[in-house]
Amino acid sequence: METLIGKKVLHGSPCYENEETIAKVCIDPKWPDLITIEFESDFFTRISPAELEELKQDGEIHYRNRHHNGLEVMILE
């Protein structure tokens, strides 16, 4: 998980992504089945361990946001 810290990504709704820098990757005790990715902007998102692996392997994921159930994308730059 630490290998992603400092990496720049495009993140947000498809076609409306913002550039972000990953500040922290952790497991929040309130959400033990998900990985929390925090950005330098103080925004955060939660993804599954499988989605994290897909991001690391493919450099891109499309997933449902766990807070508002909207589709999001994260692309490593």
Nearest Cα to Cα of residue 27 among 19, 37, 18? 37
Q: What is the Cα–Cα distance from 77 to 74, expressed in whole angstroms?
A: 10
Give 1's pLDDT tier (boundaries 50, 70, 90): low
Helix (H) or strand (E) holding 41: none
Tokens for 32, please give them: 């033990």
| Chain segment 17-57, per-residue pLDDT in tens | 999 999 999 999 999 999 999 999 999 999 999 999 999 99
What number is the average pLDDT over the span 2-25? 95
Give 11's pLDDT tier (boundaries 50, 70, 90): very high
What 8-state DSSP symbol labels residue 13? S
